[in-house]
Structure 1
Amino acid sequence: MNDPRKVDIYSAEHKRDPFQFYAFLRSEAPVFEVGVPVLKRAWLITRYDDVVLCLQDSDRFVKNASNAGLRSPKSMPWWTPASLRTLSENMLDLDDPAHRRLRALINKAFSRARIEQLRNRAEVLAEGLVDRMRAKSKPDVIEDFALPLPLTVISELLGLPEEARPRFRKWTNVFLGARSEIRMALSLPSIFALMRYLRRLVATRRRTPRDDLISALIAVEEGGDRLSENELIAMLVLLIIAGHETTVNLIGSGMLVLMENPREKERLIGDFSLLGSAVEELLRFTAPVEIATERYAAQDIDLRDTTIRRGDVIFPVIASANRDAQKFAEPDRLDVARRPNPHLAFGDGVHFCVGSHLAKMEAEIAFGCLLRRLPKLSLACPAHELQWRAAPVVRGLKSLPVIT
């Protein structure tokens, strides 16, 4: 392998196949420091047990930079406008008790019952998208199915107007693609536009509430406590991005993997009762979220003969943990019936993904519909020609052209 210190973990080249790199680190350097744009340096934690430790030990591995002795998050350069710093007031970037407070409020509004009400709507959407794919001469799984399904579902759940949804995708793409200080600076107009739009939408919902999640978040109360305006905007930005990004990547990469593993694809088509376990396996195998968002060392930490200093940035690598042979038998083999499957695709500990149920429901509907309606689906180009997105944290395809 080339010098691992020179690997750009945000690059499209790395995203194509990060698993060999992480296998090398698990074996030779399970706690490994790399150069990272904006953050400068970060520790990669790659073994399953260590990743679990990092995700669960929220006293030593903290989310709020101030709890590690820093003035501000290292992901926000000194020139970041104060109005954008309010985005850090989301529960993903906070520690308890602030995190616990926000999570209690979102759980009350973002209930499983509210999500289940979307099941029939998601099924109808999926069927309609497949109809459109079959009518196209050059269908693309990402553009024609994997993107519009979860984006429409989260938009309808939140109450985002239909005409604004293409702009939300554009804004979130810019947000997620800000992998250098220059790109961050160039992304500012889009982020400002997103926040302005959300503030206007929240003001409208305050005057005229509807049966949607934005109205529910405005109204939700726990022990006399409510979300502040900044907390609400930060929460909405998080829900819009996380509410569709993981699922887009999962559906796209998952269909690619199934086409590359025809035995498992046929096995699933022959027994759709395996859909639940297949989704869990595709989450493990494809790494739609490659790396958990950064943690900070609240104190000096000795791990695997390496000392991580207080204030250092730490990346728990989910994609690596989910291929660890110490935890999974034949980890590089796809098994749609794998049980047990203790993957970490949605994280672990207090920050376990609040939207995991929604993502899995959408994925089961998506794979079931695609495989039932388009059982002969195949790639329209060689796999090595597919383009992967260059981005921090997530892993997904730009496009997936197919033959139906």
Structure 2
Amino acid sequence: MDPADGLIEHPYDVYRRLRDTAPVHRITGPDGTPAWLVTRYEDVRAALGDQRLSLDKAHATPGTYKGLALPPALDANLSNMDPPDHTRIRRLVSQAFTPRRIEALRKPIRRTADELLDALGPHGTTDLVASYAAPLPITVICDLLGIPDDHRLDFRTWTDSLVIPDPARPEGGREAVAAMLGFFTRLLADKRATPGDDLLSDLIRVRDEGGDRLTEDELMSLTFLILFAGYENTVRLIGNAVLALLQHPAQLAALRENPARIPAAVEEFARYEGPALLGIRRFPVEDVTIGGVTVPAGETVWVSLSAANRDPARFPDPDRLDLDRDTSGHLALGHGIHYCLGAPLARAETEIALGALLERLPDLALPDEEPRWHPSVRARGLRALPVTY
């Protein structure tokens, strides 16, 4: 899967060809090593829920997987864990994303959205990713964790270096990891000295008072994952949703006419142009048959969320944006025990972000230029979204 073959600009065309050809393909993975790619909805959904497919890199055959190199203090997170550790840690942090907590965040989220739109002024041009889609979720997740304002721009720069590495500066990712490790070390020390009414202070109390409930590496890794995933997935979902609406004027008009449809529309945006092309890699703990193909234990398995969500066997006419579609069962945010922990917050932020835009920028439009996507085979997000308003 060479990006030169159109995977960056037109991933759904590439995945359609792969899905039509076979359910499982032997490929070269994003890290340059051999892997297996699963493309059809039923197989992807089954793989996501199959506990024989481990997230723990210890089950990878030596030399067959590289991946992102993180120090232990950032690597001991839920995206690398299986039960029982995964169950224990997820239970501890799930309190931050209960329906009651999310509902309590709606007013602050809308306030942040209004402040960002106020800063744009009544008319002009802007990059809506830089001015709105990115600062909204970073503000929300940093407020939730209790991270000071003066470090938020730094974190956005670091995450961009990890998700979209610059080929001209291969050391950029290592520098970002070192910077984040130092940042989280200082942050946890500050929170221990001066705890606040925030999620991070609560997690520190669990760690320090509960003893064996969280190791120090797990605490730091969990903080990193919440901040990283809470920002990255949501900025992509908001940007992709706005672009999809602006490219479909009839759907945009219908949503302006009836904003109560926004929550259902967000599910279709997630299915149609979700924030991730691939799910988290997995490693079979035994030989596993997927789509009639036997994958040996220890080899790398990638599941294509975007291919599954455009599978006509599950979603009729899947390449059409349809805000009235039954989107139940879409896989944009995962499935099974590793379903995205922050999905309720991402949904709320996207609903509120779209609602504020529709209400306050009635003349929002795209200029005559192609959207610019990040050069990633894993994430589906915009580099920039130039608009007029």
Q: TM-score, normalised by structure 2?
A: 0.93
Which of 260, 271, 284 is equivalent to 1:273? 260
**Partner letter of residue 285 of structure 1?**
Y
- Note closer, same or farther for the CA distance 1:43–1:355 as it changes in structure 2 (3 Å cut): same
**Partner letter of residue 345 of structure 2?**
L
In structure 2, the residue matched to 1:306 is: 293
In structure 2, the residue matched to 1:36 is: 29
Shift in Å, 1:127: 1.4
Shift in Å, 1:304: 2.9
**Partner letter of residue 49 of structure 1?**
E
Cα distance in 1, alignment partners of residues 166 and 302 from structure 2: 15
Which of 41, 45, 53 is equivalent to 1:61? 53
C-alpha deviations, 1:57-108, integer Å up to 9, x for none? 11x21101223555996315xxx5xx71332210111011111111111113
- Note closer, same or farther for the CA distance 1:364–1:231 as it changes in structure 2 (3 Å cut): same
SS in 2 for 1:42: strand
SS in 1 for 2:190: helix
In structure 1, the residue matched to 2:132 is: 145
**Root mean square deviation of aligned Cα:** 2.2
C-alpha deviations, 1:362-400, integer Å up to 9, x for none? 000011111121122111232x2x211112521101101
**Partner letter of residue 183 of structure 2?**
Y
Correspondence 1:49 to 2:42: yes
Report 1:96-111 matches (<5 A). Answer: 96-111=83-98
In structure 2, the residue matched to 1:395 is: 380
In structure 2, the residue matched to 1:21 is: 14
CA contact (8 A) 1:277 1:336 kept: yes
CA contact (8 A) 2:245 2:251 kept: yes
Report 1:333-348 matches (<5 A). Answer: 333-348=320-335
In structure 2, the residue matched to 1:212 is: 198
In structure 2, the residue matched to 1:364 is: 351
SS in 1 for 2:66: coil
C-alpha deviations, 1:97-150, integer Å up to 9, x for none? 111111111113444433332211110111121222235632121011101111
- Note closer, same or farther for the CA distance 1:307–1:99 as it changes in structure 2 (3 Å cut): same
In structure 1, the residue matched to 2:183 is: 197
CA contact (8 A) 1:13 1:388 kept: no
SS in 1 for 2:213: coil
SS in 1 for 2:380: coil
SS in 2 for 1:117: helix
| Structure 2 alignment gaps of length 5 or more | none
CA contact (8 A) 1:66 1:72 kept: no
The share of aligned pairs that are identical, in percent, is 37
Shift in Å, 1:223: 7.6
CA contact (8 A) 1:140 1:401 kept: yes
C-alpha deviations, 1:313-332, integer Å up to 9, x for none? 11111001101111112111
| Structure 1 alignment gaps of length 5 or more | 1-5
Deviates more, 1:12-21 or 1:257-266: 12-21
Which of 231, 235, 246 is equivalent to 1:248? 235
Shift in Å, 1:52: 0.7
Correspondence 1:90 to 2:90: no
- Note closer, same or farther for the CA distance 1:125–1:216 as it changes in structure 2 (3 Å cut): same
Correspondence 1:159 to 2:154: no
- Note closer, same or farther for the CA distance 1:184–1:239 as it changes in structure 2 (3 Å cut): farther
**Partner letter of residue 33 of structure 1?**
R
In structure 1, the residue matched to 2:67 is: 75
- Note closer, same or farther for the CA distance 1:308–1:179 as it changes in structure 2 (3 Å cut): farther
Cα distance in 1, alignment partners of residues 293 and 254 from structure 2: 44
Cα distance in 2, alignment partners of residues 49 and 322 from structure 1: 10
Cα distance in 2, alignment partners of residues 353 and 227 from structure 1: 20
C-alpha deviations, 1:278-319, integer Å up to 9, x for none? 000000001211110101122222233422111111111100
Q: TM-score, normalised by structure 1?
A: 0.90
Deviates more, 1:255-264 or 1:115-124: 115-124
Correspondence 1:292 to 2:279: yes
Correspondence 1:7 to 2:2: yes
Deviates more, 1:338-347 or 1:273-282: 338-347
SS in 2 for 1:240: helix
Shift in Å, 1:39: 4.7
Cα distance in 2, alignment partners of residues 228 and 73 from structure 1: 26
